[in-house]
Amino acid sequence: MSRFPYYGIKYGKFQYDSWTALYKLITKLPYSEYEHIYSENYKTILDSEEVSDSFKDYLKNKHLDRKLWVKCYIKKFCCGMVTSSRIDSTHNIYKKYLNGNSWLCEIYSVFQELEQLEIKNYHDEIGKFTIKQNKDLEKYKLIAESKILLGNYIIEKLKNYILRSLKYSVECNAQKTLW
């Protein structure tokens, strides 16, 4: 009996439509919008006789880390951006300026222009962040008095340590005990 190469779906004695539907269910599992839909699909996959035992074991192990790869369990806000989205947006920019008949020198010049644009955007972001950090430093009375005593040079050198210490918070661990 053969197996589907990537997902451990057995086929041969089962109908084509059945394992095609199961394959689609498996591939859509990471994109589940709601927890109850994910749970239903997960249970359906585990209950299926068409899925190999090794894949079931693999899926059970992955299920433990579902907060890292299933859309409905991911709680971080990333403005809808994922790695592939950023790459796709870059590819769209290349397609906008280049085509199959582009000369190598054109490709090089487009890459240079895009690189300069990225560097400029990066420096703008760093500038905004630095301004915000300086405003954060100025709002603390301890920092203002330290500037008078120690001078701007010392405060500038210690800025990252100072900001980290001012924003430090003690968190409880899983056993509800403090360090």
pLDDT confidence of residue 172: 43
Say yes or no to pLDDT of 2 above 80. Answer: no
Identify which has the larger pLDDT, 148 or 47. 47
Does residue 36 carry a pLDDT above 60?
yes
The pLDDT value recorded for residue 143 is 73
When the pLDDT of each residue in the chain is averaged and rounded to a whole number, the result is 75
- The full set of domain ranges for the chain reads 2-73, 83-166
Name the CA dihedral angle for 100, 120, 123, 129, rounded to a multiple of 10 degrees. -90
What mean pLDDT comes out for the span 88-111?
A: 82
Give the pLDDT mean for 61-82.
76
Percent of the chain with pLDDT over 70: 74
C-beta neighbour count of 130 within 10 angstroms: 11
54 vs 10: CA distance, rounded Å: 11
Q: Please identify which residue in the block is written with the tokens 């409880």.
A: 172
